[in-house]
Amino acid sequence: MNDKILTLLGFATKAGKLSYGFDAVKTALAQSKSKLVLIANDLSQKSQKEVVFFADKFKTKVLVLQSYDMETLSHAVGRKCGIISVNDSSFADGVLSAINFREELK
């Protein structure tokens, strides 16, 4: 795991700052805990649409991680998932910075 985004997600997992899966993410959004929602690139369109709907409802940013599939995200956080809520603003900012840095390199 030599990728900054995946490393940050691993640290956030150990710190207990993530929610995994549709129901847990929906709950985190409803409780205003979620700072950022991340979606694997191979998640079904139906699930993506539902997550985006709830995130918009609670005014939370959503990113589809084009470079990561469910297997990669699951490996980074240690459990099977395609949807992750980052429930800490520092970790969310770190992920966004790493994504922006990656985009600048392209």
Which pLDDT score, from 0 to 100, does residue 99 have? 86
The residue-averaged pLDDT of 75-103 equals 91
pTM of the full predicted structure? 0.91
Domains and CATH numbers, the chain: 4-105 (3.30.1330.30)
- Per-residue pLDDT band at 104 (split at 50, 70, 90): low
Radius of gyration of the chain (CA): 12
- Per-residue pLDDT band at 12 (split at 50, 70, 90): very high
In degrees, rounded to 5, the angle at the alpha carbon of residue 99 between the alpha carbons of residues 26 and 21 is 20
16 pLDDT higher than 80:
yes
Which pLDDT score, from 0 to 100, does residue 102 have? 60
In degrees, rounded to 5, the angle at the alpha carbon of residue 84 between the alpha carbons of residues 45 and 74 is 90
The string of pLDDT tens digits covering residues 35-69 is 999 999 999 999 999 999 999 999 999 999 998 99
Q: What is the DSSP string of the chain?
A: ---HHHHHHHHHHHTT-EEESHHHHHHHHHTT--SEEEEETTS-HHHHHHHHHHHHHTT-EEEEETT--HHHHHHHHTS--SEEEE--HHHHHHHHHHHHHHHHH-
Q: What is the DSSP string of 28-42?
A: HHHTT--SEEEEETT
